[in-house]
Structure 1
């Protein structure tokens, strides 16, 4: 029951109505028996700074940050954790007595999802990452730091892909390459064929979003590969459909959403998150069975 002592958490994004995070976190908070509530906020881009200032002014204890604000939010914060500085993106903000600290649980969340739910070791082989935004940055660094031997970043703006690849190489020592989003690139095809993991970090395939073909031959992703789509709504994305058709193991972003949420909740509250309660709520929101 919401009352004068209720602690408020939330999520900032635009759009944000599709997010399953409110249902997941509210289920967790009920299970933990804490007087908290988690709500969505959808500020327009020109009001982002005012929205972040509102976190401090209203005493909101913490928020998640989703697209398109994971990088844009940084100048409005007081400090960043080492992870957030390295990733250059923030997906979690903690408010401690008016000091707003940016964290990033996206990369660690994906690594935990790969290991816990898919028994996949990032050191198994090279990885291809589609996109070069905030989530891609976190995932690229996390994979490199978790033993991935070689990375490729594929993006429509080649300069952005190159910048991310160079940052990963400099920060981790892992070999990283950049490719333009070009279906005719033979070198990209060759790299993808020998990769163990393909990760979509773009909005392509998101409900209500862009519909576009990936720059891959029709038989990729394929057998022996894990095709991981950070999009989770719809629960079966075009990237997953093509991968399953070719015999790849496929996954949507629900597991990453789960574990990044688990890590964020534990950072906010200091309590062990009820992982299975959060997982069940996510699947309930999708309307699919576990």
Structure 2
């Protein structure tokens, strides 16, 4: 059961906006959920070039679209097109979910944070006071840091190779994440190794190790060197938000050190389930059906 059984004149539209978006797995898991829930909706991947984003969003509102996910590169730009923003979306400056407002317009929010946190809450009952190291300071790292703040981490170190990007990230986030510190990722790697040795959780937000049909060899890469991997304690959790391949090189090598691991598949499922709850107003979203639909799709 991986999708809707039929499309009728009454079928309503939900979807994901991005550019490119044809590779998205969201239709696989969302249509499986819609069928299970008995909703006469169809979820589509909807290409939206940046120059046409405003027109696409307005047109979908006029078509009575029931809800939208937003992926790269539009998470920041679409915030400007919302009638209102949730406090979390305002804090992050990024929107990944649009919910129609009665009377017109879109409510913009962000379910990436909930998607990131859900597997960690299942894995351990209390993260309060723990230390985390986040690899990378791109767009995904912002939701990860917000999730770590929600979970109660009191020491969050952000490792980045580009000093300018690292400084800009900290300037944006420290007002709501005062426990966030910069961790230069230098060629010798000594500072990073020391931080990894003390970490309860390491999160990879970089694309290093992510395979694709056009570049399967990328799966052999690992964001951490052997020295860095040797610094991990067996009690540490390692969370790679990549889910192709499963497991990534990082998670394979961390597991050989005795570390517990999480990948990005659960994050993808949980953020999608949170969005579907908002669109449908229902709490019976079949998370396991969504996860199984993705597992059947992935190699």
- 1:64 matches 2:69: yes
Match of 1:104 in 2: 110
CA distance change for structure 1 residues 229 and 120 in 2, over 3 Å: closer, same or farther? farther
Q: Distance in 2 between matches of 1:256 and 1:125?
A: 21
Matches within 5 A, 1:113-124: 113-116=119-122, 118-119=123-124, 121-123=126-128
SS in 2 for 1:203: coil
Match of 1:12 in 2: 17
Structure 1 window deviating more from structure 2 (255-264 vs 244-253): it is 244-253
Matches within 5 A, 1:158-173: 158-173=163-178
Deviation at 1:237, TM superposition (A): 1.6
Unaligned runs of 5+ in 2: 1-5
SS in 2 for 1:29: helix
SS in 1 for 2:73: coil
Structure 1 window deviating more from structure 2 (51-60 vs 88-97): it is 51-60
Whether the 8 Å contact between 1:81 and 1:103 is mirrored in structure 2 is: yes
SS in 1 for 2:206: coil
TM-score by length of 1: 0.88
CA distance change for structure 1 residues 179 and 7 in 2, over 3 Å: closer, same or farther? same
Unaligned runs of 5+ in 1: none
Given candidates 240, 254, 262, the residue that maps to 1:243 is 254
Given candidates 127, 132, 135, the residue that maps to 2:140 is 135
Structure 1 window deviating more from structure 2 (81-90 vs 62-71): it is 62-71
Structure 1 window deviating more from structure 2 (39-48 vs 259-268): it is 39-48
Matches within 5 A, 1:45-60: 45-60=50-65
Deviation at 1:219, TM superposition (A): 2.0
Match of 2:186 in 1: 182
Whether the 8 Å contact between 1:153 and 1:162 is mirrored in structure 2 is: no
SS in 2 for 1:90: coil
Deviation at 1:85, TM superposition (A): 0.7
Whether the 8 Å contact between 1:145 and 1:172 is mirrored in structure 2 is: no
Structure 1 window deviating more from structure 2 (254-263 vs 56-65): it is 56-65
Match of 2:297 in 1: 285
Whether the 8 Å contact between 1:236 and 1:252 is mirrored in structure 2 is: yes
SS in 1 for 2:209: coil
CA distance change for structure 1 residues 172 and 154 in 2, over 3 Å: closer, same or farther? closer
Deviation at 1:37, TM superposition (A): 0.7
Give the number of aligned pairs: 285
Structure 1 window deviating more from structure 2 (118-127 vs 15-24): it is 118-127
CA distance change for structure 1 residues 282 and 237 in 2, over 3 Å: closer, same or farther? same
Q: Distance in 1 between matches of 2:170 and 2:161?
A: 14
Given candidates 204, 208, 212, the residue that maps to 1:204 is 208
Q: Which protein is bigger by CA-based radius of gyration?
A: 2
Given candidates 31, 35, 41, the residue that maps to 2:36 is 31
TM-score by length of 2: 0.86
Q: Map Cα deviations across residues 239-277 of structure 1 (whole Å, 9 max, x no partner).
A: 222222322212211111111111110011101112222
Whether the 8 Å contact between 1:88 and 1:137 is mirrored in structure 2 is: no
Q: Distance in 2 between matches of 1:50 and 1:180?
A: 41
Deviation at 1:215, TM superposition (A): 5.0
SS in 2 for 1:171: coil
Q: Map Cα deviations across residues 1-40 of structure 1 (whole Å, 9 max, x no partner).
A: 2122211111122333332211111111111111001111
Deviation at 1:124, TM superposition (A): 5.8
SS in 1 for 2:152: coil
SS in 1 for 2:119: helix
